[in-house]
């Protein structure tokens, strides 16, 4: 019953997204920068096993706009923001995305340094990432982490959303939009329970329904920003 419900939800999600935006002829490049919630990255091995939210986002934009849109996954498991900064310079910027969606910083707070020191380092890296992309005329959307959630709180990565205030600060200073994923995930957890959304152990990594929630939230935000092509 659960699997059939998930299939129906996926179909409804795709159909709903497909009716949201009109078609256009312009190629749209969207780069997704992040850690293991986004990555580990595009390639044949991982797509044989599962779809991540950037994959679902590509399907949604393609269906909604009639575009041959390219959503590229620059996420790498275990990444800290300084590593994402290096990838931004070496890989993301040369690709020249029209839009960059960034969910990074959670792993920064997994180390033993005090939060203020980590926050300063994270702030510097994230500010640099956004600056590089803006200088390349890339539109930037920052994402804030959802609250880590699981029925058993013992192993939950409580630190993952500690950088959300820094993300908000950078968005305000750099004048780029930010999307707080918290409300969408809180609603999904309330409806389906955390066991269908998050990994049962760490309360952070996403199950298939969680990937849908994240992709849908990002797609709707892109529509609100009028960043997707229209007729």
Give the pLDDT band (50/70/90) at residue 193.
very high
Residue 50 is predicted with a pLDDT of 74
Choose between 111 and 188: higher pLDDT.
188
Give yes or no for residue 73 having a pLDDT over 50.
yes
Residue 40 is predicted with a pLDDT of 77
Between CA 212 and CA 190 the distance in angstroms is 15
Mean pLDDT of 167-184: 98
Domain ranges of the chain: 29-224
Q: 178-180 and 99-103: which strand pairing? A: unpaired
Give the lowest-confidence range in 46-50, 138-142, 179-183.
46-50
Query: What percentage of the chain exceeds 90 in pLDDT?
Result: 74
Identity of the highest mean pLDDT range in 9-13, 48-52, 204-208: 204-208
Give yes or no for residue 123 having a pLDDT over 80.
yes
Report the chain's C-alpha Rg in angstroms: 17
Mean pLDDT of 44-57: 78
Choose between 113 and 119: higher pLDDT.
119
Between CA 199 and CA 48 the distance in angstroms is 20
Smallest Cα–Cα separation from 59: which of 11, 6, 2, 3?
Answer: 11
Residue 7 is predicted with a pLDDT of 54
Residue 8 is predicted with a pLDDT of 57
Q: H/E/C letters for each residue in 41-98?
A: CCCHHHHCCCCCHHHHHHHHHHHHHCCCCEEEECCCCCCCHHHHHHHHHHHHHHHCCC
Between CA 25 and CA 147 the distance in angstroms is 38
Smallest Cα–Cα separation from 156: which of 191, 195, 128, 103?
Answer: 195
Alpha helices in the chain (DSSP H): 2-18, 44-47, 53-65, 81-87, 93-95, 115-135, 164-174, 182-192, 208-224
Give the lowest-confidence range in 28-42, 82-96, 159-173.
28-42
Give yes or no for residue 77 having a pLDDT over 80.
yes
Q: Which CATH superfamily is domain 29-224 in?
A: SGNH hydrolase (3.40.50.1110)
Give yes or no for residue 13 having a pLDDT over 80.
no
């Amino acid at each position: 019953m659960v699997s059939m419900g998930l299939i129906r939800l996926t179909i409804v999600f795709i159909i709903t997204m497909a009716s949201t935006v009109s078609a256009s002829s312009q190629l749209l490049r969207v780069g997704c920068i992040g850690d293991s919630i986004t990555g580990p990255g595009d390639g044949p091995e991982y797509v044989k096993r599962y779809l991540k939210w950037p994959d679902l986002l590509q399907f949604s934009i393609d269906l909604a706009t009639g575009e041959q849109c390219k959503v590229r996954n620059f996420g790498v498991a275990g990444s800290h923001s300084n590593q994402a900064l290096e990838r931004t310079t070496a890989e993301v910027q040369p690709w020249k995305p029209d839009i960059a969606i960034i969910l990074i910083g959670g792993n920064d707070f997994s180390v033993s340094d005090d939060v203020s020191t980590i926050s300063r380092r994270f702030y510097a890296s994230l500010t640099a990432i956004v600056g590089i992309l803006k200088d390349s005329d890339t539109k930037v959307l920052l994402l804030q982490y959802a609250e880590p959630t699981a029925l058993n709180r013992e192993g939950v990565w409580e630190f993952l959303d500690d950088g959300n205030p820094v993300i908000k600060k950078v968005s305000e200073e750099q004048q780029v939009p930010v999307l707080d994923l918290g409300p969408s995930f809180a609603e999904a957890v309330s409806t389906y329970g955390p066991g269908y959304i998050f990994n049962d152990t760490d309360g952070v990594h996403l199950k298939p329904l969680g990937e849908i929630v994240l992709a849908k939230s990002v797609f709707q935000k892109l529509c609100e920003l009028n960043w997707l092509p229209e007729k």
